[in-house]
Amino acid sequence: MNRRVVITGIGMVTPMALGVEENWKHLLKGDSAVGYISLFDASTFPTKIAAEVRNFNFADHFPTDGKLDFAGRNTQFAILAADMAFKDARLPGYDFDKRRFGIYLGSGEGKQDFFNFVKIIGESWNGQSVSNAKFVELGEKVFHPIMEQEQEPNMAAAHLAEIFHAYGPNSNCLTACAASSQALGEAAELIRLGKADIMISGGTHSMIHPLGVTGFNLLTALSTANADPTKASRPFDRKRNGFIVGEGAGILILEELEHAKRRGAHIYGEIAGYGTTADAYRLTDAHPEGRGAIAAMKMAINKSGLKVEDIGYINAHGTSTVVNDKIETLAIREVFKEYAYKVPISSIKSMLGHLIAAAGAVELIVCLLVIRDGIIPPTINYEFPDPDCDLDYVPNVARRKQVDVALSNSFGFGGQNVALIVKRYRS
Amino acid sequence: MGIGTEPFWSGIAEGRSAVRPISLFESANFPVKVAAEVKDFDPKRFIEQRKSLKVMARDIQLTVSAARMGMEDSAIEIAKIDPTRLGISLGASLISMSIEELSPSVRYSLTESGAFDIGKFGSDGMNLLFPLWMLKYLPNMPACHISIMYNAQGPNNTLTTACAASTQAIGEGLKVIQRGDADIMITGGGDAKVNPLNVLRYYFSKCLSASARPPEKVSRPFDRDRDGFVVGEGAGIVILEELEHARRRGAKIYAELVGYGTASDGAGSLGQGFNGRGLAYAAESALDDAEVNRDEIDYISASGLATVLADRAETAGIKSVFGAAAGGIPMSAIRSMIGYPGASIGALQLIGAIMTVQRGVLPPTINLETPDPECDLDYVPNTAREKEVRTAMVNSFGMGGHTASLILKKFV
């Protein structure tokens, strides 16, 4: 059986805006969602900036009887984005087999009760070491029971299954920055295999908390260009100095083609190819010749049956780290050869920051919008060309171009690489 | 139960309990006092590089060690295989922070009155943590370490679906090979839940037993007086290989993995509301995937979460798949012996089932002293049983409502 997978609904919650069209408007204008961290007092941290979903009150957007109040921000973003996507796909009220309706997310962890956590550590000191006995005794009394449980990364997928009555396959993966792309790829495979007809897929993450920022700062992965937040994320620019952590969710409704046609669904595009590889090199550093990235792109292209010249746009991983952008460029040149200089490439992380596990899904939605509207969002803050990054990154200004096929790259911390190709749906 | 497959198998085949008083941390004033810990684990036996060990939390150490054992057992010669067709698919979960590790930074950041000063933490306190600190705690790091150790450049995923995590990881690994994207997949999972943060988190779910019984009697799936699970730790690795590839290199073959199904209860996000429907769908999907008839299943490795609700739901789910024949299929829960070792449970269940197929012995569900009228199947109570098993089913179901089912067959 040759089952084809199309996208029939999209939703997103990002630091730029709630909702797809609002986001798209700002992305095409080249706006930046980066600002000073407000979710905790980061005034003395090396990095004081991030891309936050500001003034977010879940109850304003989604009916909740209080049960989801203590779910992590990541879960709340996912629920909202999934609700948007489900409605966008015109599925509410449509009678379909819920056993063939599943969920596959790339979701990060929920929110830690950091201030209670450090308070208890402080109070558990017995003069020489931390008393674990005291820690659990205090923890039992002080920690919020629901908030604690809501930290596990499967909670978003678990809640979505309950809310949407999705009784089919239900998975969550956490391959860092590649997670939601990987979830989308595997969700598509489940549909192709005949295990489901509709999958809610994509990802969500919210790491703008003291331990998240601390971890990235200790690795010197984040930009510390605090003086000018909206200029800090500058993928492929010679003065790039690290990524900006963001938060949010991107959700896509993947659907088997015949199922979509039978109900007259609107089709945004088709999943044409999925490549997944590992660098098998180092814990943090990408392989210097980009072998994993190259292999992932080639695998996706092979699976799609297309040629590199068919690809009209590349949505780069483009994190704004010195290493990623250089190696990604190298890898694109190796895969695309002379055509690498002709294909427009852009990184929306220049505007949204890095949504970590959610990045891939948001970026795939952007690829679909590029196909729909024939406009490519820019890589902003592109001022100083880097000889190592000599391709066309659609600098600063959006560009009109008819695009029928787009490739999206997501390269995770830990060397997991995913490449996804979406194309204009043609029967 | 031990380090290695044989100690694991002899433990479960003899119906021994691995539950003891908690020793990995001081739990004196806490309602939960027992756990199933991995005893005498020396990671240096399996991980030579000191630098690597330093960035591995216990969960990662257990998983990587199991991978070492699995790969050695497989006798795969890394130099002779195509690295791009060797992949990894693991189950994992949130790795808890080490309180001891964080403590110096936190204490440094306290004001004179003992209150935490985030300003002091941001400017100075955090620098008491070592630079690669975060890498100790990312769930995809076991897969990363293993990929480096074996130059595994193929598909690489880490699933974090609690009780179903490694079962799904193994199933997805099966699919990756079947769809032609790899020849060998290192699959399974690892977890280390016996630490203050995890125990607290489970305690809050109200699914953890706080029984005052002797340790070896606390874990009692399907028993009328069950009151929750016992927290544990462990890792299990199963090397999946495409058959012709295995034959060509003269590989030793344990069994054949023939089917995988996965679903959701649509309930169970906070350990409540399980209904068994998801387990039934996963099992039916696996049977369909394997093209195996219900009456071919000789043994089921049950999930056995050991809460009142979960075990009833599991029983109802099995009945809905197998109908009247359900009562005739022996179904045992190794959790009665090894507790709930987090994301590794599915892999350990599969290894137990593989050994069952090889050795013709069903491990028991121990501590089944008083039957629950709503759990009235044959759980192989208390004593192991000899039975030839040609086809076995492994079911994982629990926290979060994710369910998964694998079917394996004796290799002929």
Taking CB atoms and an 8 Å cutoff, what residues of chain B touch A154?
Answer: 93, 160-162, 165, 399-400, 402
Taking one residue from A and the other from B, the number of pairs with CB-CB distance under 8 angstroms is 289
**Does residue A25 contact residue A38 with C-beta atoms inside 8 Å?**
no
**Closest chain A residue by Cα to residue B286:** A195
Q: Are residues A203 and A258 in the same domain?
A: yes
Q: Are residues A132 and A241 in the same domain?
A: no
Taking CB atoms and an 8 Å cutoff, what residues of chain B touch A168?
Answer: 263-264, 281
Taking CB atoms and an 8 Å cutoff, what residues of chain B touch A123?
Answer: 114
Mean pLDDT of A304-318: 98
Q: Are residues A227 and A254 in the same domain?
A: yes
| Residue contact B132–A283, C-beta within 8 A | yes
Q: Are residues A226 and A314 in the same domain?
A: yes
| Residue contact B140–A276, C-beta within 8 A | no
Identify which of A419, A398, A404 has the alpha carbon closest to the alpha carbon of residue A309.
A404
| Residue contact B147–A155, C-beta within 8 A | no
Total Cβ atoms within 10 A of residue B189: 37
| Residue contact A215–B261, C-beta within 8 A | no
Q: In whole angstroms, what is the distance from residue A365 CA to residue A256 CA?
A: 18
| Residue contact B30–A174, C-beta within 8 A | no
CATH number of the structural domain spanning residue A289? 3.40.47.10
Q: Which domains are present in chain B?
A: 5-97+135-409 (3.40.47.10)
Tell me: pLDDT of A111 over 90.
Answer: no
* pLDDT tier at A417, thresholds 50, 70, 90: very high
B182 touching A (Cβ < 8 Å): no
Taking CB atoms and an 8 Å cutoff, what residues of chain A touch B396?
Answer: none
Identify which of A360, A371, A352 has the alpha carbon closest to the alpha carbon of residue A419.
A360
Q: Give the global pTM.
A: 0.98
Q: In whole angstroms, what is the distance from residue B38 CA to residue B23 CA?
A: 10
* pLDDT tier at A128, thresholds 50, 70, 90: confident
| Residue contact A174–B140, C-beta within 8 A | yes
| Residue contact A219–B134, C-beta within 8 A | yes
Identify which of B208, B173, B205 has the alpha carbon closest to the alpha carbon of residue B189.
B173
Taking CB atoms and an 8 Å cutoff, what residues of chain B touch A167?
Answer: 263-266, 277-278, 281
Range B23-28, long-range pairs (CB < 8 A, 24+ positions)? B24/B194, B24/B195, B25/A132, B25/A133, B25/A136, B25/B194, B25/B195, B25/B196, B26/A131, B26/A132, B26/A133, B27/A132, B27/A133, B27/A136, B27/B199, B28/A133
Give how far B327 is from chain A: nearest CA, Å.
26
Taking CB atoms and an 8 Å cutoff, what residues of chain A touch B194?
Answer: none
B369 touching A (Cβ < 8 Å): no
Give how far A224 is from chain B: nearest CA, Å.
13
Token code pair at residue B113: 């009155």
Helices B5-13 and B345-359: crossing angle in degrees, nearest 10, is 70
User: Closest to A158 (Cβ–Cβ): which among B156, B196, B268?
Assistant: B268
Residue located via tokens 């002797």: B214
Q: Are residues A91 and A142 in the same domain?
A: no
**Closest chain B residue by Cα to residue A278:** B153
| Residue contact A130–B99, C-beta within 8 A | yes
Asked if the interface predicted TM-score (ipTM) of this complex is over 0.95, the answer is yes
Token code pair at residue B184: 């060998």
Name the domain count of chain A.
2
Give how far B302 is from chain A: nearest CA, Å.
19
Identify the pLDDT of residue B39. Answer: 97
Q: Express each pLDDT in B332-353 by its tens digit.
A: 999 999 999 999 999 999 999 9
User: Closest to A214 (Cβ–Cβ): which among B126, B132, B281?
Assistant: B126
User: Closest to A175 (Cβ–Cβ): which among B132, B158, B261?
Assistant: B158
Q: Is B190 exposed, middle or buried (0-12, 13-18, 19+ CB in 10 A)?
A: buried
Mean pLDDT of A209-220: 96
Identify which of B245, B226, B356, B342 has the alpha carbon closest to the alpha carbon of residue B301.
B356
Give how far B230 is from chain A: nearest CA, Å.
17
Tell me: pLDDT of A288 over 80.
Answer: yes
**Closest chain B residue by Cα to residue A282:** B148
Identify which of A38, A397, A48, A15 has the alpha carbon closest to the alpha carbon of residue A232.
A48
| Domain-ending residue, one of A146, A167, A195 | A146
| Residue contact A416–B277, C-beta within 8 A | no
Q: Are residues A159 and A142 in the same domain?
A: no
| Residue contact B94–A109, C-beta within 8 A | yes
| Residue contact B160–A174, C-beta within 8 A | yes
- In what order do the strands lie in the sheet containing B402-409? B256-264, B402-409, B391-397, B299-301, B331-332
Q: Are residues A54 and A167 in the same domain?
A: yes
User: Closest to A219 (Cβ–Cβ): which among B25, B132, B196?
Assistant: B132
Give how far A285 is from chain B: nearest CA, Å.
12
Burial profile A294-330: b = 16 or more Cβ within 10 angstroms, e = fewer: bbbbbbbbebbebebebbbbbbbbbbbbeebbbbbbb
Taking CB atoms and an 8 Å cutoff, what residues of chain A touch B78?
Answer: none
| Domain-ending residue, one of A130, A146, A162 | A146
The residue type of A30 is G
**Mutation choice for B interface testing from A100, A103, A112, A118 by most B CBs within 10 A:** A118
Taking CB atoms and an 8 Å cutoff, what residues of chain A touch B343?
Answer: none
Q: Are residues A170 and A140 in the same domain?
A: no
**Mean model confidence pLDDT for chain A:** 96
Taking CB atoms and an 8 Å cutoff, what residues of chain B touch A279?
Answer: 147, 153
**Closest chain B residue by Cα to residue A102:** B263
| Residue contact A278–B285, C-beta within 8 A | no
Total Cβ atoms within 10 A of residue A97: 12
**Closest chain B residue by Cα to residue A107:** B160
Give how far A334 is from chain B: nearest CA, Å.
17
Give how far A1 is from chain B: nearest CA, Å.
13
Mean pLDDT of A153-167: 97
State the sign of the Cα–Cα–Cα–Cα dihedral B238, B392, A188, A153.
negative
Q: Are residues A256 and A401 in the same domain?
A: yes
User: Closest to B263 (Cβ–Cβ): which among A169, A193, A282?
Assistant: A169
**Closest chain A residue by Cα to residue B122:** A45
| Residue contact A132–B94, C-beta within 8 A | no
Mean pLDDT of A212-232: 97
Q: Express each pLDDT in A36-69 by its tens digit.
A: 999 999 999 999 999 999 999 999 999 888 889 8
B212 touching A (Cβ < 8 Å): no
**Mutation choice for A interface testing from B105, B124, B156, B403 by most A CBs within 10 A:** B156
Identify which of B125, B96, B260 has the alpha carbon closest to the alpha carbon of residue B191.
B96
Q: Are residues A323 and A345 in the same domain?
A: yes
Walk along chain B (412 residues) and give the pLDDT tens digit of each residue: 999 999 999 999 999 999 999 999 988 778 899 999 999 999 999 999 888 999 999 999 999 999 999 999 999 999 999 999 999 999 999 998 888 899 999 999 999 988 999 999 999 999 999 999 999 999 999 999 999 999 999 999 999 999 999 999 999 999 999 999 999 999 999 999 999 999 999 999 999 999 999 999 999 999 999 999 999 999 999 999 999 999 999 999 999 999 999 999 999 888 888 999 999 999 999 999 999 999 999 999 999 999 999 999 999 999 999 999 999 999 999 999 999 999 999 999 999 999 999 999 999 999 999 999 999 999 999 999 999 999 999 999 989 999 999 999 999 8
Q: Is A172 helix (H, G, I), strand (E, B) or coil?
A: strand
Q: Are residues A76 and A128 in the same domain?
A: no
Identify the pLDDT of residue B271. Answer: 84
| Domain-ending residue, one of A131, A146, A161 | A146
Structure letter (DSSP) for residue A286: P
Identify the pLDDT of residue A1. Answer: 67
Q: Express each pLDDT in A390-407 by its tens digit.
A: 999 999 999 999 999 999
**Closest chain A residue by Cα to residue B32:** A136
B108 touching A (Cβ < 8 Å): no
User: Closest to A136 (Cβ–Cβ): which among B55, B84, B196?
Assistant: B196
Taking CB atoms and an 8 Å cutoff, what residues of chain A touch B168?
Answer: 171
Q: Are residues A208 and A288 in the same domain?
A: yes
Domain, as residue range, for A104:
5-111+150-423
Token code pair at residue B313: 């739901």
Tell me the CA distances in angstroms from B243 to A132, A199, B72, B251, one per residue in order.
49, 31, 19, 9
| Residue contact A277–B154, C-beta within 8 A | yes
Catalytic residues of A: 177, 317, 354
Total Cβ atoms within 10 A of residue B410: 17
Identify which of A106, A78, A26 has the alpha carbon closest to the alpha carbon of residue A359.
A106
* pLDDT tier at A149, thresholds 50, 70, 90: very high
Count helices and strands in chain A by DSSP H and E runs: 13, 14
User: Closest to B168 (Cβ–Cβ): which among A115, A171, A189?
Assistant: A171
